Amino acid sequence: MSSIYRTLAGPVLRNIAFACLAVWLVGLSYGAVAVASGFPRWFPVVQGALVLAGASEFLFVGIIAAGGSPLTAALAGLLVNARHVPYGLALPDVTGPGWRRLLGAHLMNDESVVFALAQDDPARGRAAYWACGLGIAVCWPGGAAAGAVLGGLVRDPNAFGLDAMFPAVILALIIPALRGRAALRAALAGAVIALAAAPFLPAGLPLLLALLALLAPLARGERAAP
């Protein structure tokens, strides 16, 4: 680990630390919301460690809390996590072979990929990937554990606005991705489709139906260049 500190410049380490702190805080809200929604305390911690992809875990918890089936919840979560395939294709070899590849793959997330790609030489990219990936692998389930304990202490979580926190955290997670006008339009259209379908379909399915919003640019003839 000392090689990580020697390889990375101070500002990069500081930014990674901030990213991990932010992830810890989101993990705190995740653990609290999950327990407040009726999940056992172990659940957000174990899922946090095993899945290690925040948005999909919020999605999983949200769909089941709304009465959806774990199968729908898992499929929706997988859909959100499919972006890790192109991440792996875009990254240079940051892990090395053997057990490092197997462990390193699990540490791939939005933050570790961004920090790895932002470094200007391969050694620094590798160090940033591992530092950020390991930091988040500790902070995400750790935050979830703290949140699960706090959430369990509150008798009526809704009185503290925990239920209102849920959509707010989801919004905070996706705001960086809404930079483009097309993404914003698709997100709004998806939200409208889901709201319109929600009274008629079992929980979870309206979210998958929202994907129809991705077809809108095609209908207008704005085909993505192959």
Closest separation in Å from C-beta 221 to other proteins: 15
Q: Is 46 in the site for other proteins (CB under 8 A)?
A: yes
What DSSP string describes 85-114? HHHHHHS---S-STHHHHHHHHT--HHHHH
Q: In whole angstroms, what is the distance from residue 213 CA to residue 61 CA?
A: 23
Q: Is 5 in the site for other proteins (CB under 8 A)?
A: no
Query: Which residue among 17, 22, 25, 91 contacts other proteins (CB under 8 A)?
Result: 91
Tell me whether residue 153 or residue 214 sits nearer to other proteins (CB atom).
214
Backbone angles phi, psi at 60, to 5 degrees: -55, -50
Q: Is 123 in the site for other proteins (CB under 8 A)?
A: no
Query: Which residue among 50, 118, 123, 153 contacts other proteins (CB under 8 A)?
Result: 50
Q: Which of residues 158-197 bind other proteins (CB under 8 A)?
A: 158, 163-164, 166-167, 170-171, 173-174, 177-178, 182-183, 186-195
Tell me whether residue 6 or residue 181 sits nearer to other proteins (CB atom).
181
Reading the block at residue 45, the tokens are 């911690």
Contact 151, 157 (CB under 8 A): yes
Contact 29, 165 (CB under 8 A): yes
Query: Which residue among 90, 118, 123, 153 contacts other proteins (CB under 8 A)?
Result: 90
What DSSP string describes 14-66? HHHHHHHHHHHHHHHHHHHHHHHTT--THHHHHHHHHH--HHHHHHHHHHHHT
Tell me whether residue 48 or residue 147 sits nearer to other proteins (CB atom).
48
Around 84, how many Cα atoms within 13 Å sit in the side-chain half-sphere? 19
Closest separation in Å from C-beta 146 to other proteins: 20
Tell me whether residue 21 or residue 105 sits nearer to other proteins (CB atom).
105
Reading the block at residue 174, the tokens are 């996706």
DSSP 8-state code for residue 121? S
Q: Is 140 in the site for other proteins (CB under 8 A)?
A: no
Query: Which residue among 69, 117, 146, 152 contacts other proteins (CB under 8 A)?
Result: 69
Residues 143-162, mask of contacts with other proteins (x by CB under 8 A)? ---------------x----
Number of residues that bind other proteins (CB under 8 A): 82
Q: In whole angstroms, what is the distance from residue 106 CA to residue 20 CA?
A: 16
Closest separation in Å from C-beta 10 to other proteins: 29
